[in-house]
Structure 1
Amino acid sequence: MILALILGFSGLLSAQNSVSGTVSDLQNQPMPGVSVYAPELHKGTTTDVNGKYEFTNLPNGSLRLSFTFVGYTTQNKTIAKLLKENTLDVTLPESIFEMDEVIVSTPFNKLQSQNVMKVEHESIKTLQQKGTSTLIEGLATIPGVSQISTGTSIGKPVIRGLSGNRVLVYSQGVRIENQQFGDEHGLGLNDAGIESVEVIKGPASLLYGSDALGGVLYFNPEKFADANTFKANFSQKYFTNTQGSNSSIGLKTSTDNWKFLARGSFNTHSDYKIADGDRVTNSRYNETDFKTGIGYSNSNFSSVLRYNYNKLDIGIPEDGIAEQSSSKDTQFPRQGIFNHLLSLNNVIFFENSKLDVDLGYISNDRSEFEDSNVASLHMKLNTLNYNVKYHFPKFGKIETILGVQGMHQTNTNSGEEYLIPDATTNDFGVFGTANYEWNNSVIQAGLRFDNRNVSSEAHGIVDEEGYFQALDRSFDSFNASLGYKTKLAEPLTLRLNVATGFRAPNLAELTSNGVHEGTNR
C-alpha cells in the first residue's frame, strides 16, 4: 500500500534527466566492462565495448556515480545539478590500493576522505577470506572490534569494551532488535547477501539514538544486478575444524526500472575442536537463511522492499568436554531462534531536496529447550522502526538534514520461565545536523532529543522468586556533536570529534530480579 501511495505521488512530479559518457584509461583507450553504480538509486550498469555507459530517467538534484574496475582506482563523481542531458567522461588510473568508499552509515553519505567521522569499512568478501565460519568471527578481525562468545555461533560484538545494548546493529537500513541483553545468542544475521559492513566507533547517539553509546555496526545489503542483466551464483565451503559446510545460491535480475534478487544459504557444523583434539560438547549448530528484495526507481523516487528470514538451531555447551561426537544434531539444552526482518527504504526526489523514509519490522522468536521439545523459555519480540530524514536544499556550502526516528516494541512470554516481563517500549527522537565544507576542510554539528518510555505488566506473586513489579518509566536526553576534518598534507588527514552520549536503561536492566541464569550472576 505504501509503495502504491508513492507511485501515485510520483505522478505529481516530473523529471526526465539522463547522463552518459565514456570511461577510458590513462592512454585514452576505452575501457569495456567497467561497473558504474548510482548508490542512492540502487541502479547500476556496465560500459560497452566502446567504454560507453548511460543512465536515463534520473531525478532532479545531484547524482553520485561510482566507477570501479579491478586493478584501477575507483572514481567517485558527483554531478551537482542534473540537466536534461548530462555528459560525464571518466579516466581510471591503474592502482593496487584500496578504494575511497562512499560511507552509507553517516547522514551525508560522503566519501571516506570527506567524512568528519572515521568509519571502518570492510567488505564481507574480505572478512570471509580470513577463514572465519560465522559473521561475528569475521567482525572480530576488524581493528577495534572484538566479541563475547559462548559457542561457535554465539557471539556479541564489542566496540571499545562496550557490548549488548550499548552497540547498535543495522541491517537493510533497519535497527536489529533480538534480545541483545542476553549472552547466549548471536546477531541473528548471516553473511550471505551482505555486501559490506561499516563500523562507527564511539558515541553515535546523534545519528541513531541513546543505545549507540559504544558504536554502530552498519551492514550494507547485496547490490542488485546491473540494468538489463541476469546473474546467478553458487558457493560451497567446508570447514575442517567443525566438519561443517556453508552452501549459498543466489540469483538477481534488473530492468531499467525494476530489480529483483533472492539468496538462500544453509550452514551446518559439528562441535568445534580445541587444541588437544577434543571437541566442546554440544557447540554444534544449524542455520538457514533466506534473503530477497525487489526495487523500483524512476526519475521521481527510488523504493526498495527487502525481506530476511533466519532460523538458528543452536546447542548450548554446558558440560564442556563430555561425550565426543561429530553429529550435527543439537542436544539439550539448545535454542531455537527465528528472525523475520522486513524493510522498506524510500527516497523521494524534489527539485533541489529529497526525503528519505525508512520503515522496518523485526520479529524475533527465541525459545530455550532444557530437556524436552517443550520450550521452558519462550520470548517473542516484535519491533517497528521508522526513520524519516529531510535533506534541505543546499545553501551555499551548507548541507542540512532534519529527521525523526522512533521505535515501538512489544515483548511477550509464553514459557514457564521469565527473564523479562511482558512489556512495551516506545522510543522517539528528533535531530538536526549541518555540514559545511570548504577547500580541504569540513565542519559538522548536530543536536538531538530522545525520549524512551518503558511500561511492563506485573508477573508472579509478591515476595516470591520470579516476581516482576509493574513498571512505567520515561527517560529524556539531549545530545550534541561537533566534528572537524582537514587535510594537513597529501598523506595526512586530521579529524577531531567531540560528542555527548546518553543511554536510557533497557527492560532487562529495569526489571532484573534475582539470579540471571544466562550469565551465572
Structure 2
Amino acid sequence: MLCAQKIETFNLSGYVKDTFGKPISGATIYIRELDKGTTSDVDGSYQFLKLKNSNLNVRVSSVGYHSETKTLNLSTNENSFLDFQLRRDEKSLAEVSVVGQRLNQRKVQEIKQSGYAVNVIDLTTQVDKVADLNQLLRRSPGVTIRENGGMGSDFSFKINGLDAKIFIDEVPMENYGSSMTLNNIPVNLVDRIEVYKGVVPAYLPTDVLGGAVNIITKRRNKQFFDFSYGYGSFNTHQASLIANMRDAKTGLMVKADAFFNHSDNNYMMYSNPKYGINLDGYFKSFVDEETGIVQNQLVKVDKARRFHDAYTSGMGKLEAGFENVKWQIDYFLA
C-alpha cells in the first residue's frame, strides 16, 4: 500500500514600525526554530517565503529600540501577516560612525579650518596624471601663471595680482637650485599644495604681499614604491620615482626621490603683425637684372618651427636615518 504525505508551506510578511507609526528600516527579524533571518526594507516591510506549518517564535530587534518576540501559529491560510511596533530604548547609545582618514587628509582638513585665507590642493587624487605643478595651480582661485614658452621656460607667478613666494616643505624653493621649479616638479612627488593669500603662517617667512605657496612632498613611514613615466608632444619625457624602505628591527629608513624631464620644444611659431610679432624669415639670393650684381632679400615667413630650445632637467635626493629608535648614552667619569 502506498501513502503520500503533503507538506504545506506558508508565507509570512508584515511591517516593523515605532510607536509613532514610522517605519524602521534595517531591523533584524529572526525565527529561532527555523534558524532563518531577514531585515526590514526602507518602508519597514519584511517577508519570509515557504515556511512550514508550526508554532514559531519571531524576534525583532533594532539599534535604539527594545526587542520584541511574538509566538505565531501558522494557520491553514497560504499567507500570514504579523506586524511589530517597537518602543525606543532611551538608555541605548546612538549609532556611531567611525571614518578613517589618512594623515594627509587630516592635515588638509585642519588647514582648511584654520583662520588663514588658504586653498589646499590634495594631490593624492592626482597620482594617476602626468603633469607638473603649474598645470594644477592654474585651477586655484586667485592664482595667475604666465609662461613664456614650453617646458623649462621662464614664468611669472602671482596671487591676486601680487608677487608670491614659493616654499618646498617650508624651505624657500630658490635654495634647491634652478632644477626645482613649479613647471618641472611631477605631481607624484607631492602630497598637497597650500596656497596662502595675503597673511601667511609664521613658519613661512616672506616679505611679499601676495602670499605664499607651500609644497609638501610625500613622506611615509611604511615601505612603498612609486614610479611614473609619460611621453607627449615635441618629444617630451617626464619620469618620477619615489621610494621608501624601512627595517623594522633596526629602525633604519632610506628614502629616495628623483625626477627627469626633457622636451625638444620644437613647437610651431606664427607671425602676428597685429601685435607686432613678426618672424625674421630667411635671406634669398638673386641676381639684379639691371646691374648683374648678386643681392640678398629678406623673405618673411608666416610660421616657423622653434629650434635649439631643448630643455633637460633632473633631480635626485637620498635620505637615510633611524626612526623610532631609543639610544642610550653612558657617561664615564675619570
Task: Normalising by structure 1, report the TM-score.
Answer: 0.32
Which is richer in strand? 1
Choose 1 or 2 for highest CA Rg. 2
Task: Normalising by structure 2, report the TM-score.
Answer: 0.47
